Chains A and B, each alone.
Chain A
């Protein structure tokens, strides 16, 4: 069930922490699960009665758009989204927007087999990579100086949302830009968790990621290539 290579960290302290963590909020050996069932049995029966019946679901499905119409609508929607993203509108994200909203995982790319994206999407991805490169280079400089910029959460969440929009469209299925977009998604999610008061260790980890993955250099190449 567990990845054997990261079950414990390489540090002996990690292994000892894990061993001591085994008794963290340890569940009782004999939980009263029969009593829980007895308490909720009536609610379960009501829940099953309230759920839509199978024949009703089948009718709902039959009323849906034909498959070709749904596919055409999805294609048109992703084209519009790609154009909007490509124009790189830069309205600042609302600081009150919950982080979870911006960090929802993107749906899988439309065609994971690796179809080259049409030029308009490649240009949108290229502009996105160029901006990401500038932002990340600035952030890297700040982190090297031991500072976490106050606006890091705002712009990284904004860029994360745009990355996911691109990932959901043809650029996400492109063999070149798709890989970089997925990597950028993970990195931006990590950066979005930083804020002005971030722990030193988090800032150091983010700086390490930026340096070890050489993502800035690769964004520079991709920004020029697309």
Chain B
């Protein structure tokens, strides 16, 4: 994963604002992998994640003049990525709900967890069953390793709120997977 110093990014942003495509490409190279990881973790589909990466960067470059440098460029960009991805997934759910007979539409967060699945499959199904925001905080923190301060910036919530949401997500996962504790202990 490429890391980049904030000063380098600020210089690239200045150049890109002047229409420098090489600077835009450097920003993309420095940050696309992390944006892609977030999109992929949320979407669960590589092709769709690529679409979200594309939309994130186009939107970011269009709004480059709004970037003030108060947060790092990476944090600012990932906030756009989270918003683009979650909104895109919501729109896709709405579309599929219109296309599927009402009786077949599953409530969000109500996906069944097959008790005969492997432990890993069951954990994944339980994460799928979390409410959207709880799933986002859990995935960003426990899976992708972001700190609460950055998650708060990405989701537009307070750091304390991010911690509370994670606590709840963990409690729900424990509740859904309580029988696994015995299997794991055995």
Instruction: Report A's interface with B, CB cutoff 8 A.
Output: 1-3, 6-9, 11-14, 16-18, 20-28, 31-33, 35-37, 39-41, 43-45, 47-54, 57, 100, 103-105, 185-186, 189-190, 193, 199, 201-202, 205, 209
Contact = CB atoms under 8 A, between A and B. Distances in A.
Contact of A3 (B43, B148, B180): B148
A27 B40 contact: yes
Given A32-B50, A36-B50, A40-B58, A25 B43 contact: yes
B24 A105 contact: no
A190 B32 CA distance: 33
Contact of B143 (A11, A21, A47, A104): A21
B174 A1 contact: no
A54 B17 contact: yes
B101 to A, nearest CB: 24
Contacts of B142: 7-8, 17-18, 21
Contact of B65 (A14, A22, A52): A52
Interface of B: 16-19, 21, 24-25, 28, 32-33, 36-37, 40-44, 46, 49-50, 53-54, 57-58, 61-65, 119-120, 123-124, 126-127, 138-139, 141-143, 145-148, 150, 152, 156-158, 160-161, 163-164, 166-168, 170-175, 177-178, 180-181, 184
Contacts of B25: 37
A2 B65 contact: no
A6 B166 contact: yes
A224 to B, nearest CB: 26
Given A190-B161, A201-B172, 11 more contacts: A6-B163, A14-B174, A21-B127, A21-B139, A21-B143, A22-B143, A24-B123, A25-B44, A31-B33, A47-B61, A105-B152
B62 A24 contact: no
B161 A189 contact: yes
B124 A24 contact: yes
Contacts of B123: 17, 20-21, 24
A185 B158 contact: yes
B21 to A, nearest CB: 6
B145 A1 contact: yes
A24 B127 contact: yes
B24 A33 contact: no
Nearest to A49: B19
A199 B57 contact: no
Contacts of A205: 167-168, 171
B50 A31 contact: yes
Contact of B58 (A9, A13, A47, A49): A47
Contacts of B171: 201-202, 205
Contacts of A25: 40-44, 124, 139
Given A1-B147, A3-B148, A40-B58, A27 B170 contact: no
B161 A186 contact: yes
B3 to A, nearest CB: 11
B58 A44 contact: yes
B74 to A, nearest CB: 11
Nearest to A100: B156
21 contacts: A6-B166, A9-B170, A12-B181, A17-B123, A24-B123, A24-B127, A25-B43, A28-B46, A33-B32, A36-B54, A40-B54, A44-B21, A44-B28, A44-B57, A44-B58, A48-B24, A50-B62, A104-B156, A189-B158, A190-B164, A201-B172
